Copies of this chain bind each other. A is one copy, B any other.
Amino acid sequence: MKIKCPKSNLAAVQDTMDVLKGRWKIAIIAALCYDKMRFSDLQKEIEGVSAKMLSSELKDLEINQLVKRTVLSTQPISVEYELTEYGWTLKKIIEHLAEWGIRHRKQITGKVLEY
């Protein structure tokens, strides 16, 4: 008997992919996994990201309740970002994706070297 894959699960997978897609989201989440960071430090940490892109990606993450933005009353004013408690739930997912990616590179590179 063939068991069909429930369509709702496919949609759920796609939801997660949508949250994580974008050139910088995973890098941002990974950076914030270790510490809260100011905008300017985040930009330094994530090589190649423009201020405009970083701001846009952070906004997406805020909308999805994964990142919290705090304005600090420093001189001059600075903005700090941190993962929300909910954002932390992504850590495990990212670890799994990393594990599989490492394995995948070995699998593909291994085969190439054998040829």
Contact = CB atoms under 8 A, between A and B. Distances in A.
Interface of A: 2-5, 8-17, 19-21, 26-27, 30-31, 33-35, 45, 64-65, 86, 89-90, 92-94, 96-105, 107-108, 111
| Copies in the assembly, this chain | 2
A100 B91 CA distance: 11
A33 B29 CA distance: 30
A98 B9 contact: yes
Among A9, A27, A34, A108, the most chain B Cβ lie within 10 Å of the Cβ of A9
Nearest to A35: B2
Nearest to A26: B13
B26 A98 contact: no
A20 B19 contact: no
B65 A16 contact: no
Contacts of A45: 4
A86 B100 contact: no
A100 B108 contact: no
Contact of A13 (B4, B5, B86, B98): B98
A9 B93 CA distance: 13
8 contacts: A3-B34, A4-B34, A4-B45, A10-B30, A12-B105, A13-B30, A16-B101, A89-B100
